[in-house]
Structure 1
Amino acid sequence: MESTHQFIAINKPLKLDVEHYGHWKVNMQQVIQGIDLEAWIAVEEGWTHPIISDDDGKETLKPKKSWSAEEKLEANFNAKALSAIFTSLPRNQFTRVQGCTSAKEAWDILKVIFEGTSNVKRTWIDMLEYEFESLTMGAGESVYDFSSKMSSICQEAIVLGKNYKDKKLVKKFLRSLRARF
Protein backbone atom coordinates (compact mmCIF):
# COMPACT_ATOMS: atom_id res chain seq x y z
CA MET A 1 0.00 0.00 0.00
CA GLU A 2 1.41 3.33 -1.08
CA SER A 3 1.15 6.28 1.24
CA THR A 4 1.61 9.91 0.33
CA HIS A 5 2.29 12.72 2.73
CA GLN A 6 1.91 16.43 2.18
CA PHE A 7 3.90 18.94 4.15
CA ILE A 8 3.32 22.66 4.27
CA ALA A 9 6.31 24.74 5.30
CA ILE A 10 5.52 28.01 7.01
CA ASN A 11 8.64 30.09 7.56
CA LYS A 12 7.40 32.01 10.56
CA PRO A 13 4.38 31.30 12.69
CA LEU A 14 1.44 33.52 11.88
CA LYS A 15 -0.07 35.08 14.99
CA LEU A 16 -3.10 37.31 15.22
CA ASP A 17 -2.20 40.85 16.21
CA VAL A 18 -5.42 42.54 17.32
CA GLU A 19 -4.33 45.88 15.87
CA HIS A 20 -3.73 44.33 12.46
CA TYR A 21 -6.63 41.93 12.05
CA GLY A 22 -6.91 42.69 8.32
CA HIS A 23 -3.32 41.59 7.79
CA TRP A 24 -3.93 38.36 9.73
CA LYS A 25 -7.22 37.68 7.92
CA VAL A 26 -5.70 37.91 4.43
CA ASN A 27 -2.62 35.87 5.40
CA MET A 28 -4.69 33.26 7.19
CA GLN A 29 -6.91 32.80 4.17
CA GLN A 30 -3.84 32.10 2.05
CA VAL A 31 -2.37 29.75 4.65
CA ILE A 32 -5.57 27.71 4.77
CA GLN A 33 -5.91 27.67 0.97
CA GLY A 34 -2.25 26.57 0.82
CA ILE A 35 -3.08 23.64 3.07
CA ASP A 36 -5.95 22.68 0.77
CA LEU A 37 -8.56 24.62 -1.16
CA GLU A 38 -11.21 22.32 0.31
CA ALA A 39 -10.06 23.41 3.78
CA TRP A 40 -10.85 27.00 2.83
CA ILE A 41 -14.24 25.88 1.53
CA ALA A 42 -14.85 24.41 5.01
CA VAL A 43 -14.22 27.89 6.42
CA GLU A 44 -16.54 29.59 3.93
CA GLU A 45 -19.37 27.08 3.88
CA GLY A 46 -18.99 25.36 7.22
CA TRP A 47 -18.99 21.77 8.37
CA THR A 48 -21.35 19.89 10.61
CA HIS A 49 -20.90 16.58 12.34
CA PRO A 50 -22.75 13.85 10.41
CA ILE A 51 -26.10 12.93 11.94
CA ILE A 52 -28.21 9.78 11.82
CA SER A 53 -31.89 9.36 12.58
CA ASP A 54 -33.33 6.41 14.40
CA ASP A 55 -36.69 4.79 13.65
CA ASP A 56 -38.50 7.35 15.81
CA GLY A 57 -36.93 10.24 13.88
CA LYS A 58 -34.65 11.20 16.74
CA GLU A 59 -31.35 12.59 15.43
CA THR A 60 -28.01 11.74 17.03
CA LEU A 61 -24.39 12.27 16.10
CA LYS A 62 -23.17 9.57 13.76
CA PRO A 63 -20.32 7.51 15.27
CA LYS A 64 -17.01 8.27 13.56
CA LYS A 65 -16.47 4.59 12.79
CA SER A 66 -19.51 4.60 10.53
CA TRP A 67 -18.66 7.76 8.60
CA SER A 68 -18.43 7.41 4.83
CA ALA A 69 -15.18 8.23 3.04
CA GLU A 70 -16.71 11.54 1.93
CA GLU A 71 -17.74 12.46 5.49
CA LYS A 72 -14.24 11.66 6.76
CA LEU A 73 -12.69 13.77 4.01
CA GLU A 74 -14.91 16.77 4.80
CA ALA A 75 -14.17 16.40 8.52
CA ASN A 76 -10.45 16.29 7.73
CA PHE A 77 -10.60 19.52 5.71
CA ASN A 78 -12.47 21.20 8.56
CA ALA A 79 -9.92 19.91 11.08
CA LYS A 80 -6.99 21.24 9.03
CA ALA A 81 -8.57 24.69 8.74
CA LEU A 82 -9.56 24.79 12.41
CA SER A 83 -6.06 23.72 13.43
CA ALA A 84 -4.51 26.50 11.34
CA ILE A 85 -6.82 29.07 12.94
CA PHE A 86 -6.24 27.78 16.47
CA THR A 87 -2.45 27.74 16.17
CA SER A 88 -2.42 31.32 14.86
CA LEU A 89 -4.18 32.75 17.90
CA PRO A 90 -2.57 34.10 21.04
CA ARG A 91 -3.95 32.54 24.23
CA ASN A 92 -6.25 35.47 25.08
CA GLN A 93 -7.94 35.20 21.66
CA PHE A 94 -7.91 31.39 21.58
CA THR A 95 -10.18 31.24 24.62
CA ARG A 96 -12.89 32.97 22.59
CA VAL A 97 -13.07 30.15 20.03
CA GLN A 98 -11.70 27.11 21.87
CA GLY A 99 -15.10 25.41 21.99
CA CYS A 100 -15.68 25.66 18.25
CA THR A 101 -15.93 22.43 16.29
CA SER A 102 -16.07 23.99 12.84
CA ALA A 103 -13.58 26.32 11.20
CA LYS A 104 -16.42 28.51 9.93
CA GLU A 105 -17.74 28.99 13.46
CA ALA A 106 -14.30 30.09 14.73
CA TRP A 107 -13.70 32.31 11.69
CA ASP A 108 -17.10 34.00 12.05
CA ILE A 109 -16.60 34.66 15.78
CA LEU A 110 -13.23 36.31 15.12
CA LYS A 111 -14.72 38.30 12.25
CA VAL A 112 -17.47 39.72 14.48
CA ILE A 113 -14.98 40.46 17.27
CA PHE A 114 -12.56 42.35 15.03
CA GLU A 115 -14.72 43.65 12.19
CA GLY A 116 -17.88 43.92 14.23
CA THR A 117 -21.38 44.16 12.95
CA SER A 118 -22.18 46.17 9.83
CA ASN A 119 -22.41 49.37 11.94
CA VAL A 120 -18.97 48.82 13.48
CA LYS A 121 -17.55 47.90 10.08
CA ARG A 122 -18.96 51.14 8.63
CA THR A 123 -17.29 53.08 11.46
CA TRP A 124 -13.92 51.43 10.69
CA ILE A 125 -14.35 52.30 7.00
CA ASP A 126 -15.21 55.90 7.93
CA MET A 127 -12.10 56.15 10.10
CA LEU A 128 -9.93 54.80 7.27
CA GLU A 129 -11.57 57.21 4.85
CA TYR A 130 -10.78 60.12 7.17
CA GLU A 131 -7.21 58.87 7.52
CA PHE A 132 -6.96 58.63 3.72
CA GLU A 133 -8.36 62.13 3.14
CA SER A 134 -6.16 63.75 5.79
CA LEU A 135 -3.01 61.95 4.65
CA THR A 136 -0.25 64.32 3.57
CA MET A 137 3.34 63.83 2.61
CA GLY A 138 5.79 64.86 5.34
CA ALA A 139 8.62 67.33 4.63
CA GLY A 140 11.37 64.71 4.81
CA GLU A 141 9.27 61.80 3.60
CA SER A 142 10.22 59.91 0.45
CA VAL A 143 7.74 59.20 -2.34
CA TYR A 144 8.11 55.50 -1.56
CA ASP A 145 7.24 55.95 2.13
CA PHE A 146 4.24 58.12 1.33
CA SER A 147 2.91 55.74 -1.30
CA SER A 148 3.37 52.84 1.16
CA LYS A 149 1.28 54.65 3.78
CA MET A 150 -1.41 55.40 1.22
CA SER A 151 -1.39 51.83 -0.06
CA SER A 152 -1.63 50.45 3.48
CA ILE A 153 -4.77 52.47 4.19
CA CYS A 154 -6.32 51.38 0.89
CA GLN A 155 -5.56 47.70 1.52
CA GLU A 156 -7.11 47.85 5.00
CA ALA A 157 -10.21 49.41 3.43
CA ILE A 158 -10.37 46.63 0.82
CA VAL A 159 -10.36 44.00 3.58
CA LEU A 160 -13.41 45.78 5.05
CA GLY A 161 -15.14 45.95 1.66
CA LYS A 162 -14.30 49.47 0.42
CA ASN A 163 -12.41 49.85 -2.84
CA TYR A 164 -10.80 53.10 -3.93
CA LYS A 165 -10.87 53.76 -7.66
CA ASP A 166 -7.52 54.25 -9.38
CA LYS A 167 -8.53 57.76 -10.45
CA LYS A 168 -9.08 58.81 -6.82
CA LEU A 169 -5.77 57.27 -5.72
CA VAL A 170 -3.81 59.02 -8.48
CA LYS A 171 -5.46 62.37 -7.71
CA LYS A 172 -4.71 61.99 -4.00
CA PHE A 173 -1.13 60.99 -4.70
CA LEU A 174 -0.47 63.90 -7.07
CA ARG A 175 -2.16 66.45 -4.77
CA SER A 176 -0.10 65.24 -1.83
CA LEU A 177 3.32 65.37 -3.46
CA ARG A 178 5.68 68.03 -2.11
CA ALA A 179 6.66 70.90 -4.42
CA ARG A 180 10.19 69.51 -4.90
CA PHE A 181 8.71 66.45 -6.68
Structure 2
Amino acid sequence: MLWDIIEDGPTIPMKIVRETQVPKERHDWSIQERKQVQLIAKAMYILLYALGLEEFAIVSSCDNAKEIWDKLEVVHEGTNEVKETKISLLNLNYENFKIDLNEDVKAMFNWFSTIVNELKGFEEVILEES
Protein backbone atom coordinates (compact mmCIF):
# COMPACT_ATOMS: atom_id res chain seq x y z
CA MET A 1 0.00 0.00 0.00
CA LEU A 2 2.78 2.45 0.90
CA TRP A 3 4.78 1.54 -2.18
CA ASP A 4 1.69 2.22 -4.34
CA ILE A 5 1.54 5.73 -2.89
CA ILE A 6 5.23 6.27 -3.69
CA GLU A 7 4.95 4.92 -7.23
CA ASP A 8 1.51 6.23 -8.20
CA GLY A 9 1.26 9.39 -6.14
CA PRO A 10 -1.20 10.38 -3.45
CA THR A 11 -4.96 10.27 -3.78
CA ILE A 12 -6.28 13.20 -1.78
CA PRO A 13 -9.98 13.00 -0.77
CA MET A 14 -11.95 15.02 -3.32
CA LYS A 15 -15.55 16.13 -3.75
CA ILE A 16 -17.44 17.36 -6.79
CA VAL A 17 -18.45 21.02 -6.72
CA ARG A 18 -20.16 22.41 -9.81
CA GLU A 19 -18.87 19.56 -11.97
CA THR A 20 -15.24 19.99 -10.87
CA GLN A 21 -13.28 18.10 -8.25
CA VAL A 22 -11.88 20.01 -5.29
CA PRO A 23 -10.16 18.73 -2.14
CA LYS A 24 -12.50 17.91 0.72
CA GLU A 25 -12.22 19.70 4.04
CA ARG A 26 -10.58 17.60 6.77
CA HIS A 27 -13.75 17.44 8.83
CA ASP A 28 -15.59 15.92 5.82
CA TRP A 29 -13.22 12.95 5.42
CA SER A 30 -14.54 9.43 5.96
CA ILE A 31 -12.61 6.96 8.12
CA GLN A 32 -11.20 5.34 4.96
CA GLU A 33 -10.09 8.73 3.59
CA ARG A 34 -8.40 9.57 6.92
CA LYS A 35 -6.49 6.28 6.77
CA GLN A 36 -5.45 7.04 3.18
CA VAL A 37 -4.12 10.49 4.15
CA GLN A 38 -2.26 8.94 7.10
CA LEU A 39 -0.62 6.44 4.72
CA ILE A 40 0.39 9.31 2.41
CA ALA A 41 2.04 11.09 5.36
CA LYS A 42 3.70 7.84 6.49
CA ALA A 43 5.17 7.25 3.02
CA MET A 44 6.66 10.76 3.00
CA TYR A 45 7.99 10.33 6.54
CA ILE A 46 9.69 7.02 5.72
CA LEU A 47 11.42 8.47 2.66
CA LEU A 48 12.50 11.68 4.40
CA TYR A 49 13.69 9.86 7.53
CA ALA A 50 16.03 7.66 5.47
CA LEU A 51 17.82 10.58 3.81
CA GLY A 52 21.04 12.32 4.69
CA LEU A 53 21.33 16.10 4.84
CA GLU A 54 22.39 16.53 1.20
CA GLU A 55 19.56 14.39 -0.15
CA PHE A 56 17.07 16.03 2.19
CA ALA A 57 18.07 19.44 0.86
CA ILE A 58 17.35 18.20 -2.67
CA VAL A 59 13.84 16.93 -1.90
CA SER A 60 12.73 19.19 0.95
CA SER A 61 10.49 21.24 -1.36
CA CYS A 62 8.60 18.17 -2.65
CA ASP A 63 4.90 17.96 -1.77
CA ASN A 64 4.43 14.19 -1.78
CA ALA A 65 6.23 10.83 -1.68
CA LYS A 66 6.04 10.33 -5.46
CA GLU A 67 7.78 13.65 -6.10
CA ILE A 68 10.48 12.72 -3.56
CA TRP A 69 11.01 9.30 -5.14
CA ASP A 70 11.08 10.64 -8.70
CA LYS A 71 13.62 13.32 -7.78
CA LEU A 72 15.84 10.83 -5.92
CA GLU A 73 15.65 8.45 -8.86
CA VAL A 74 16.90 11.11 -11.26
CA VAL A 75 19.64 12.23 -8.84
CA HIS A 76 20.94 8.70 -8.25
CA GLU A 77 20.24 6.94 -11.53
CA GLY A 78 19.86 9.79 -13.96
CA THR A 79 17.38 10.19 -16.77
CA ASN A 80 16.69 7.37 -19.24
CA GLU A 81 19.36 8.76 -21.57
CA VAL A 82 21.94 8.76 -18.76
CA LYS A 83 21.00 5.18 -17.80
CA GLU A 84 21.38 4.02 -21.40
CA THR A 85 24.80 5.67 -21.63
CA LYS A 86 25.93 4.06 -18.36
CA ILE A 87 24.73 0.66 -19.56
CA SER A 88 26.54 1.08 -22.87
CA LEU A 89 29.78 1.99 -21.11
CA LEU A 90 29.46 -0.94 -18.72
CA ASN A 91 28.78 -3.33 -21.60
CA LEU A 92 31.82 -1.97 -23.40
CA ASN A 93 33.96 -2.47 -20.27
CA TYR A 94 32.59 -6.00 -19.91
CA GLU A 95 33.25 -6.92 -23.54
CA ASN A 96 36.74 -5.40 -23.53
CA PHE A 97 37.78 -6.77 -20.14
CA LYS A 98 41.31 -8.14 -20.30
CA ILE A 99 43.70 -9.46 -17.72
CA ASP A 100 46.48 -6.98 -17.06
CA LEU A 101 49.71 -8.84 -16.37
CA ASN A 102 50.83 -6.08 -13.97
CA GLU A 103 47.63 -6.36 -11.91
CA ASP A 104 47.11 -8.85 -9.11
CA VAL A 105 44.25 -11.35 -9.30
CA LYS A 106 42.30 -9.75 -6.44
CA ALA A 107 42.26 -6.29 -8.07
CA MET A 108 41.29 -7.80 -11.43
CA PHE A 109 38.48 -9.83 -9.84
CA ASN A 110 37.20 -6.77 -7.93
CA TRP A 111 37.09 -4.68 -11.12
CA PHE A 112 35.30 -7.44 -13.06
CA SER A 113 32.81 -7.97 -10.19
CA THR A 114 32.09 -4.24 -10.10
CA ILE A 115 31.26 -4.21 -13.81
CA VAL A 116 28.99 -7.27 -13.52
CA ASN A 117 27.23 -6.01 -10.38
CA GLU A 118 26.54 -2.60 -11.90
CA LEU A 119 25.10 -4.25 -15.02
CA LYS A 120 22.88 -6.41 -12.81
CA GLY A 121 21.82 -3.26 -10.96
CA PHE A 122 20.50 -1.94 -14.27
CA GLU A 123 18.82 -5.33 -14.79
CA GLU A 124 21.05 -6.11 -17.75
CA VAL A 125 21.36 -9.77 -18.68
CA ILE A 126 24.87 -11.07 -19.20
CA LEU A 127 24.90 -13.98 -21.62
CA GLU A 128 27.55 -16.64 -21.52
CA GLU A 129 29.13 -17.37 -24.87
CA SER A 130 29.70 -21.03 -25.73
| Distance across 2 between alignment mates of 1:111 and 1:40 | 15
Structure 2 unaligned spans of 5+: none
Alignment-mate amino acid for residue 46 of structure 1: G
| Distance across 2 between alignment mates of 1:95 and 1:49 | 25
Q: How does 1:34-73 map to 2 (within 5 A)?
A: 38-54=1-17, 56-73=18-35
| Distance across 2 between alignment mates of 1:96 and 1:161 | 27
Q: Paired residue for 1:4? A: none
Structure 1 residues 152 and 70, CA, compared in 2 at 3 Å: closer, same or farther? farther
Deviation at 1:149, TM superposition (A): 4.2
Q: How does 1:109-148 map to 2 (within 5 A)?
A: 109-137=71-99, 139-142=103-106, 146=109
Per-residue CA deviations over 1:64-103 (Å, capped at 9, x if unaligned) read 3322232233333332222222122222322222222321
| Distance across 2 between alignment mates of 1:163 and 1:131 | 15
Structure 1 residues 122 and 49, CA, compared in 2 at 3 Å: closer, same or farther? same
Deviation at 1:58, TM superposition (A): 4.3
The TM-score normalised by the length of structure 2 is 0.74
| Distance across 2 between alignment mates of 1:141 and 1:43 | 43
Q: How does 1:72-83 map to 2 (within 5 A)?
A: 72-83=34-45
Alignment-mate amino acid for residue 39 of structure 1: L
Structure 1 residues 74 and 91, CA, compared in 2 at 3 Å: closer, same or farther? same
| Distance across 2 between alignment mates of 1:130 and 1:68 | 56
| Distance across 1 between alignment mates of 2:31 and 2:125 | 42
Alignment-mate amino acid for residue 12 of structure 2: H
| Distance across 2 between alignment mates of 1:154 and 1:79 | 38
The TM-score normalised by the length of structure 1 is 0.57
Q: How does 1:1-181 map to 2 (within 5 A)?
A: 38-54=1-17, 56-137=18-99, 139-142=103-106, 146=109, 149-165=111-127, 167=128
Per-residue CA deviations over 1:98-156 (Å, capped at 9, x if unaligned) read 2223212211122123322221111111122233234445643249x71x543433332
| Distance across 2 between alignment mates of 1:150 and 1:92 | 31
Alignment-mate amino acid for residue 51 of structure 1: M
Number of equivalent positions = 128
